[in-house]
Structure 1
């Protein structure tokens, strides 16, 4: 619906009311867009943080396994023999 269609046979007050309503609709649409955009950014940021944490945990696990690989066998042998470490 163009402004010329709205303008035909309407008073100035009616036109102002239509313009005000359209402005309100546009402002609401912008606010909704901004909210959705902010939520999407937060979600992406959280996903990136989780991915970094998973990668860090994997690195730590590999380090731990590398540092403790030999001692796990010894520890298991002591447990089997009934000795607590």
Structure 2
């Protein structure tokens, strides 16, 4: 990514910058646990040559972040394999 004389970002990092900025709607702890994965997925599924997210995609990211804040998901991400089970809970079996 480079910064042009006008101060605008140019190059491949522009879209990543926008995604990271939009993910600011999510709680910090959520971004810390999932941010890099979310950005990687968004970049992998973006249309080739796109420099900014679409309005629909931007709205979805902001609403998702606000919804996450509202439901109180502020705990750091813990992989399923590392979660504690309740004493009465049986381990799940994959067949």
Q: TM-score, normalised by structure 1?
A: 0.26
Q: State the structure with bigger RCO (CA 8 A, min sep 6), 1 or 2.
A: 2
Higher strand share: 2
Tell me which structure has the larger Cα radius of gyration: 1
With normalisation by structure 2, the TM-score equals 0.23
